[in-house]
Structure 1
Amino acid sequence: MAKVIKILVERLVNRSSRLKRPSSDARNPFTRLTRCSGQAIIEFTLMFLVFLIIAWIPADFGLGLYTAQLAQNAAREGARIAAADSTLLSGETTCIVPDCTGNIFEETAARISSALLSAATISLNLDPDTGTDCNRMVTVRVSGTYNFFFFQLLHAVGISENLNNTPISRETRMRWEAQAGC
């Protein structure tokens, strides 16, 4: 009986050693990474793109507000410089960024991002002399167009309406300090 048990055990051991294959990890260490069918990678990629689009909408809106604030600051700084300039002439003068010359226009243009506010126009206006009231005002206006990036993505999808630009115009008025007799 002991001999029969010994033969059966030997056969079982031999059979299991013949059936035993090397593990897949021993053959290729990267099989653990490639066992998936690829569905998770596709889902992650698609959801990541959707997340980027959803996250870009408020960021793009914030860039629009930031651009408007830059335009306001540029107009305010230009008006400060113009209010203290005693060589101004009455009337309106305009330039388009970046082709601005003159101290007031250069300082105003330096505060505007031409990448965010495309084809910005700077206008400088000094009220005409009315005589006795010492109330001449200088006005600096900065205007341009902000192009939303997200709406350009919608154009790529096939929406043909012109949704991607918003006009921005900011103006500052200050009393001109170089008035005669004031």
Structure 2
Amino acid sequence: MQLTIFRKFRIICPLLILGLLICGPFTVSSFAADSRIGFLNIQKAVSSTKEWKSNFKKFKADFTKEKQRIKIREQKIKKMLENLNKQSFVLDPELKKKKEDEFRKEKINFERYVQDQNAEFGKKEKEMTQKILIKMMDVIKKIGEEKKYTMILEEKVVLYHDKGNDLTNVAIRAYDRANK
């Protein structure tokens, strides 16, 4: 009985494979004829919008101001260290210890401040990007629906695509029109 099932399987399996090989290209080509695929560089699309450029200009100005504040504080700490090194031989031990403690506290506070500012600016940039990205996704969906695309893919996940199907600039212009 098992031998008969095995023989049937040996006969049916090649027939199924042959059928798939013959019919397979027709099903794929009919799918390809009905589908329309677009590609988009989402990072470029977001960072090329007028809103992003405007927000980034403000962000960069704030960042530059903060960088100057940090530089001033850093110079103050360096000056403290220089003074401490110069005076260390003439100061009495208690006063020297007190100044060293002040220096350490100031340095630790400065390092925390720099870390906090880096985290804060990272958070601001992420929020700014996320806000624009959410709106960009709506624009991309609208383009897909209006132009009858089956799907729109991020171009980074595709090894090759026809540049004629690149919707990055279309998305940027549509976003700028929708978000004046």
Q: Does the pair score TM above 0.5?
A: no
Q: TM-score, normalised by structure 1?
A: 0.30
**Which has the higher Rg, Structure 1 or Structure 2?**
1
By relative contact order (CA 8 Å, sep 6+), the higher-ranking structure is 2
Q: TM-score, normalised to structure 2's length?
A: 0.30
More strand by share: 1
